Chain A
Amino acid sequence: MSAIALTLGPVFFHWPAERLADFYRRIADEAPVQRVHVGEVVCGKRMPFSDPCWPEIIERLERAGKEVVLATLAAPATVRERRSIAELCGDGRLVEVNDFTALPARSGRPFVAGPFLNVYNEAAARFLAGQGARAICPPVELSLAAVGGMAGACPGVEFEMFAFGRLPLAISGRCYHARLHGLHKDSCQFTCERDADGLAVDTLDGQAFLAINGVQTLSSQVHAFCPSPDELAGHGIRRLRLSPQSCDMIEVSKTYRALLDGQEELDSARFILSCLDLPGKMVDGYARARPGWHAVAAVD
């Protein structure tokens, strides 16, 4: 059985181009992740800012030996957004499909089904495999047991679990950053750029709850699913996905690598993660078949 691989998911947030370039330079040089997903998946309006920097980032990552996957928009609407998906689907690299819009353009060629695609059961997974899905990262609300059930029934597909980062919970046609600032989406002034991990949304009683990122809603808490390698292998899971946050993602990826290689104990891995500058408390409810906000066992 080969080792469980690590994937770095696409950045959900509106990071300036220089920040993206710096981030991926370090990932290329230092992060023990095998596959790196790049591209804008949340808001097509941000694409003009980041589009120019991807060629250099991709070259740098590939020269460092990473497999680059091109991620596509989760909720395309405009002609320009749809055209960008078709262009990405024509690339020779692997593509992360996050909406069925991409399937006709990618038909028959290999792709990764991203977490925004509704693949909830083994029959749907088999159908997508027939369309070209080589790897599937199922929706975040599915448990380890559920993903394991799919993996057991689809041995030809690589199953990947969303393991680290604020959970992508919802996407809308409406921009909440714009609405909060009294603006409309069409004239949003890109206020989402101010919040590198999204903007915290607390309840009226001060409970940390959600975070907004333009048209996206995330959890306030940070999903930090730390399984043992045996547990993952037993469920047929082949990859864990780490979703970029502004904390030290090199340290995050090294910690997961050490955990999966048996060089770090579960409790100490959780402790190391908890010491990073995370935007919220660590939770893993979804993976454990509980409400998503349920906390990871306490770390002393």
Chain B
Amino acid sequence: MELVCPAGTPVALRAAVQAGAGAVYCGFRDGTNARNFPGLNFSVAEMAEGVRFAHAHGARVLVAINTFARVGEVDLWLGAVDAAAACGADAIIASDVAVLDHVASNHPEVNLHLSVQAAAATPEAIGFYAKTFGVRRVVLPRVLSVQEIAALNRNVDVETEAFVFGGLCVMIEGRCHLSSYATGRSPNLNGVCSPPEAVSYDEDRHGVAARLSGFTIDRYAQGEPTGYPTLCKGRFRAGDKTGYLFEDPVSLNAGSLIAGLKAAGVTALKIEGRQRGKAYVGEVVRAFRRALDAVEMGSDAVEIDRILAGQSEGGRQTTGAYKKTWR
């Protein structure tokens, strides 16, 4: 299986490659990719240099152009595709049919991966993208169980890639407008979810309220450590209950399921975290490299768990939807 690792910056790209990434994924410095934050991402020159560095070390570069193009500005997305191809990218990760169509028509030599943002989760949907655009690999939505992934792989003839570590989207990606409803900025159109400029921490006599565009996403007692108000990981009231209605503030760690995902026919494992620094990326990639190598050598689950012990995103973890009970 290929280990696909995050590279938010050229420095992180080098760290990931040196730590044993089979491939890195990254994007340009604009709204064409789903991690559009200040200080992140690559200029065209940096991308070309990143590809040279990765190739020299035996790693591949997958360029994410995976937001949906805005009306009247489609050329920005198509230009990003052309630039990625010119940089020698090994694959383009896309979700918008306009972008997919452009790659298929103009850059048939570039591998096409279907982004998780396209939310393709059935043999029919995946077959459509494969037949129409020649998509070679599909990044699976984070709402499928391992059994469902195994069944899916038996019915498609393209590669599949599954998230194993990092953030956890509980809504089907590419189908979620919660962030734009509250803040006006969205993953699909702007490449951001619960953006920092909409966040405020307001203190009163009860403690601290973490708010997004004025909506209270969580509250903390005086002195209690505060979390980032990601919309679907907040506490709310519904019926007569108060709590983490959608999902607890947890992150995904499916390290213990690597062998299961391999048995389910998954081709590539994806680590999330393009917003993370080089130390984090290097550490996580190294651990998953060792774990994946151990799985390939036939080590047991206890050994894998030992290798991955201590890998966490500073809080609680879950195997998410991979276990059916999550639903």
- B interface, how many residues as a size bin? 35 or more
Which of B96, B143, B177, B239 touches A140 (beta carbons < 8 Å)? Answer: B177
Interface assignment of B74: CB less than 8 Å from any CB of chain A: yes
B118 with A76: CB separation less than 8 A: no
Interface assignment of A247: CB less than 8 Å from any CB of chain B: no
Count A-B contacts at CB 8 Å: 203
Identify which of residues 177-193 in chain B touch chain A, using a CB-to-CB cut-off of 8 Å.
177-178, 180-184, 186, 188-189
A199: B residues at CB distance < 8 A:
238-239
B124 with A101: CB separation less than 8 A: yes
Interface assignment of A171: CB less than 8 Å from any CB of chain B: yes
Segment at the A interface, from B13-21, B125-133, B258-266, B276-284? B125-133
Interface assignment of A75: CB less than 8 Å from any CB of chain B: yes
Question: Do A169 and B217 contact each other (CB < 8 Å), given the known contacts A121-B71, A203-B237?
Answer: no
A292 with B172: CB separation less than 8 A: no
Within the assembled complex, what's the spacing in Å between the Cα atoms of A12 and B20? Answer: 47
B175 with A116: CB separation less than 8 A: yes
Kindly provide the distance from the CB of A217 to the nearest chain B CB, expressed in whole angstroms.
7
Chain A interface residue count, CB cutoff 8 Å, equals 66
| A173 and chain B: residue at smallest CB distance | B143
B325: A residues at CB distance < 8 A:
184
| B127 and chain A: residue at smallest CB distance | A104
Interface assignment of B101: CB less than 8 Å from any CB of chain A: yes
Chain A 170-184, CB-CB to B under 8 Å as 1, else 0, gives: 111111101110001
Interface assignment of A69: CB less than 8 Å from any CB of chain B: no
Question: Do A150 and B216 contact each other (CB < 8 Å), given the known contacts A124-B98, A202-B237?
Answer: no
A77 with B122: CB separation less than 8 A: yes
Kindly provide the distance from the CB of B187 to the nearest chain A CB, expressed in whole angstroms.
10
Question: Do A291 and B98 contact each other (CB < 8 Å), given the known contacts A172-B171, A180-B241?
Answer: no
B209: A residues at CB distance < 8 A:
204-205
Which of B72, B218, B235, B237 touches A149 (beta carbons < 8 Å)? Answer: B72
A127 with B97: CB separation less than 8 A: yes
A286: B residues at CB distance < 8 A:
180-181
Chain B 158-173, CB-CB to A under 8 Å as 1, else 0, gives: 0000000000001110
Interface assignment of A201: CB less than 8 Å from any CB of chain B: yes
Kindly provide the distance from the CB of A158 to the nearest chain B CB, expressed in whole angstroms.
17
Q: A residues bordering B, Cβ < 8 Å?
A: 74-77, 82, 85-86, 99-105, 116, 118, 120-124, 127-128, 139-142, 145-146, 149-150, 167, 169-176, 178-180, 184-186, 199-207, 209-210, 212, 217, 219, 285-286, 290-293
21 A–B pairs (Cβ distance < 8 Å), ordered by A: A75-B172, A76-B121, A82-B122, A85-B124, A86-B124, A99-B119, A99-B125, A104-B124, A105-B124, A116-B175, A121-B70, A139-B177, A169-B176, A169-B177, A173-B321, A174-B170, A201-B238, A204-B209, A217-B178, A290-B184, A292-B180
Inter-chain pairs besides A203-B236, A205-B209, 19 sampled, C-beta below 8 Å: A77-B122, A101-B124, A116-B175, A121-B72, A123-B69, A124-B69, A128-B97, A139-B177, A141-B188, A149-B71, A169-B177, A174-B246, A175-B327, A203-B215, A205-B219, A207-B215, A210-B236, A291-B184, A292-B180
